[in-house]
Amino acid sequence: MTELVLIRVTGADKPGLTSGISAILAQYDVTILDIGQAEIHDTLSLGILAAIPSRAESAPVLKDVLFKAHEMGLSIRFTPVTPESYEQWVQGQGKPRHIITLLSRQIEAEAISRVTAIVAEHGLNIDQINRLSGRVSLANASENPNTRACVEFSVRGDADQTHLRARFLEVANELGVDIAFQEDNVYRRPRRLVCFDMDSTLIEAEVIDELAAAAGVGEQVAEITERAMQGELDFIQSFEQRVALLKGLKGDVLQGIAERLPVTEGAERLIRNLSALGYKTAILSGGFNYFGRYLQEKLGIDYVFANELEMEDGVVTGRVTGRVVDGQRKAELLRELAEKEEIRLEQTIAVGDGANDLPMLSIAGLGIAFRAKPLVRENAKNAISTLGLDGILYLLGYSDRDIAG
């Protein structure tokens, strides 16, 4: 009768350890039913679920493995596995799988504790934990405020996703971290289109406020902008009110404003890597085309859709031409771009911070509220507030080893 044995090996990592153990098992025609290996701080942890054939007794197999392990300076444990428990384990592979991504400037033990406690409360099993961020030196940690830390959990099981996301958001707000939760399906990595809001997303400014300051109507416009972003005002009406206040602004100030716009942390790194990985990128903005095209050239973005500020004799008229790009229009443009690129909506990503971004965030395969207002964070499926835009790469499953600095 075939014997099932779980072999667990730990010790200082060095070349040839896995090869040495598996070579012994090969001599006895052992079948490998499962295998996993991890390395933390030069320490190896190797697990092998072995099926020892009936023609080979387990005692000599395990004895030879034990001698080999001691020869290589490893600790080893053997645990018998019953056929019943093995079959129960096999049946568990059909359960839904999800990815939990914990992001912060640095990962504290309390964050790990709280995340894993919620996982346990909802009856989910953790299959794997990986660090996606690079190794960080402690010597100069205080000199670099923009460090990145990310841990990814692969979990399995059924759960109330709405309640689970609410609990993660609660903990994220309390601890000042980000916790993303998404289905682990075939669309997670092969996403091919990323659509960004512009103001307070790709750039750390609201362009219309900059224009208003130049026109001397900053306070009036800022008040309307904030109320619109909080969802208190209809976007189109508020937009038209703000643009009307810009009447008489000379067009030659636009270039200077564009050159002074601060690009959001991580934006250049993100778009550079997305382009290298074959993604298409787009700006879908309720702002203005002039600034969208400036960013398009600066960052290498593929598409820009925004509002055209009307000019007459080099002076702003206080109107825009064409259809206003509001929340509904952003969602429509996302659909149109997906169709143009011949991809499914599940392969799209939308990123924004305001209430008028929610329509596109809700239909995208991965919707991300970035440094967003509370209303938007609560209604988006995922949010990033602690890191820069390049934190999105972690949500796609890429580690710092996979991508350019």
Catalytic residues: 197, 199
Backbone angles phi, psi at 194, to 5 degrees: -120, 120
**In terms of Cα–Cα distance, which of 302, 298, 268, 290 is closest to 405?**
268
Q: 343 with 192: CB under 8 angstroms?
A: yes
Beta bridge partners, 129, equal 153
Six-digit token pair at 212?
Answer: 């208003």
Sheet holding 125-131, edge to edge: 125-131, 149-156, 97-104, 178-183
Classify 234 in phi/psi space as left (phi over 0), alpha (psi -120 to 50) or beta: beta
Sheet holding 31-40, edge to edge: 31-40, 43-52, 3-12, 75-81
Q: Are strands 348-352 and 193-196 parallel, antiparallel or unpaired?
A: parallel
Distance CA 104, CA 106 (A): 5
